[in-house]
Chain A
């Protein structure tokens, strides 16, 4: 298990908190809460040694969705593809909530 922290510049505020996913094998859960300023991400991952991969996945995510949120992610060995899918689904849930 490893704890990671990231900060990304973001510009688009969100109005509602969102939760999606389950900490099942090869999967993860994502919580986003509204915040102001930069987006902070706290990640607990069961797979050690993937800091740079997370960095790249998140860079691409924030390029597309520069949302201002405090993220909590609990990851039980999800591949970058799954992470991306869940983040996209969280954005869908956010759209529904808003």
Chain B
């Protein structure tokens, strides 16, 4: 084959042809709202790899609804690439034949249905990923033909303002814009001038004004009213037994009441311990409202975020020393960079889970619910490519290995029984069953035992990184697993031995009194307290309203 016969720009030609077909629907880059379906039917082609933007907070909801309305006779068998399967139409398109294959990361709200559809063969799974892996594959073997994304404001040049919820828009758009994919944007608003350019207009092909703003969920907001005494107890133990002991400087908190409790204990209990200025100045975390008291009382120096949080906009804008805020005065988030930072630059990840097995593997996948991974495994794993050192990382270095190195702290905090009174500690994860049902290549484990360095329960802390064998690791887990079937295997003698060797610590070993775990220790006890702490800058969504 000679050079003259080979077309080296076939992708570009194909893209140009598709856009030419849509010319009658477009005025420059702009289409009318009512033509959205026709635009998709013209620009999409059966079998395309299509990225539909949507994570656990922000959803390109207008485009997802439009996609679900296209004629399956014209467009079918799309290969969808979606961070999050969140909305009903995300799965409707598979039932209707518009799409047939799915690569995804997280399926929280649709986890039951997706599990059923895989079992029924309605849906073929490529694979389940972490966010970062999915983004990575957009540049290697899942390069998209078309991407469907959402913007807050778009100017007449097609420049996008994505603001506080920039999240994954840049990483998705870039994968298409520089490899002759088509970038289609739904816009909340068309403006003369965007506050700042988050995505340059020349990366954008088509803009469609949406009929209503994209869906945005306040997913990381936890009402302090619902924090329990046990969560406070575990928070106190974690602060003493982990944050303080390992001199942790940088951290990611997963979403949940356990970590919300810690955030609200720092300015009170943490202060009593004299830890202010000594621990956790730097955070990779969504701007959760429960961080406000710690920020206001000077505990926190910097916060980079994966996404925004509804209601926090004004507060963040007024605290540019802490948050990442553009010259226009509004926050910018970036999910891909956030995941990268969370994987490589943090001392510690603190998360929660639904099940932990006898070996210390954990998963949020439970019977019939394929919830996927999101970003937790990026944060909740030890990056073996890491080379820089920090005191906390170094504190986990094995004592007797001359070539040894440090390790990220990966902490799981769970009550031994969930609120449904099912044991969290189990011999075998439900995920093992789900693997068989959904015919997955691997058991969907969120965080592997080998990466898990600490487990905190209301019973105590297991310092798993100190164990020398799997048998010892199991014994440490059993010792803090309460009266779950796993915990019932622990004996008084074993517990005493583990405590003596510092592998397990009970509250009394940490100087924490169970009866001191009171809600009055929380820096904020309800949403209104958070508003007060924020000097009125935090504006909680209506669903959290509980005062007049």
Contact = CB atoms under 8 A, between A and B. Distances in A.
B515 interface: yes
B514 A81 contact: no
Interface string B469-482: 00000000000001
Interface in B379-422: 415-419, 421
A50 interface: yes
B443 interface: no
Contact of B421 (A47, A56, A63, A84): A47
B20 interface: no
Q: Provide the main secondary structure of the chain A interface.
A: helix
A53 B230 contact: no
B92 interface: no
A79 B483 contact: no
Contact of A53 (B458, B483, B492): B483
B225 to A, nearest CB: 13
A23 to B, nearest CB: 16
Given A50-B421, A56-B488, A85-B233, A79 B415 contact: yes
Given A57-B483, A80-B483, A81-B230, A92 B421 contact: no
A81 B415 contact: yes
Contacts of B416: 79-81
Interface string B421-446: 10000000000000000000000000
Contacts of B119: none
User: Chain A interface: which size bin?
Assistant: 10 to 19
A16 interface: no
A79 B515 contact: no
A80 B228 CA distance: 14
Interface string A21-46: 00000100000000000000000000
A5 interface: no
A85 B483 contact: no
Contacts of A60: 483
Contacts, number: 49
B229 interface: yes
Nearest to A50: B421
A47 B488 CA distance: 21
A85 B229 contact: yes
B393 to A, nearest CB: 31
Interface residues of B, number: 20
Interface in B465-507: 482-483, 488, 492
A84 B458 contact: yes
Interface string A78-91: 01111011001100
Contacts of A56: 483, 488
A17 interface: no
A17 B32 CA distance: 75
A89 B458 contact: no
A66 interface: no
Interface in A40-81: 47, 50, 53, 56-57, 60, 63, 77, 79-81
Contacts of B228: 26, 82
B275 interface: no
Contacts of B322: none
Count chain A CB atoms within 10 A of each CB in B233, B459, B515, B517 and give the residue with the most: B515
A26 B419 contact: yes
A88 B515 contact: yes
B417 A81 contact: yes
Nearest to A91: B515
A85 B421 contact: no
Contacts of B229: 82, 85
A79 B417 contact: yes
A98 B63 CA distance: 69
A85 B488 contact: no
Nearest to B517: A85
Contact of A79 (B419, B459, B492, B514): B419
A50 B245 CA distance: 37
Nearest to B417: A79
B16 to A, nearest CB: 61
A80 B417 contact: yes
Nearest to B483: A56
A85 B230 contact: yes
B118 to A, nearest CB: 31
Q: Which 7 residue pairs of A and B lie closest in terms of their CB atoms, listed nearest first?
A: A56-B483, A81-B458, A79-B417, A92-B515, A81-B415, A81-B230, A88-B514
Given A57-B483, A79-B419, 18 more contacts: A26-B228, A47-B421, A50-B421, A56-B483, A56-B488, A60-B483, A63-B492, A77-B421, A80-B416, A80-B483, A81-B417, A81-B457, A84-B458, A84-B482, A85-B230, A85-B233, A85-B458, A89-B514
7 contacts: A63-B492, A79-B230, A80-B416, A80-B417, A82-B230, A84-B458, A89-B515
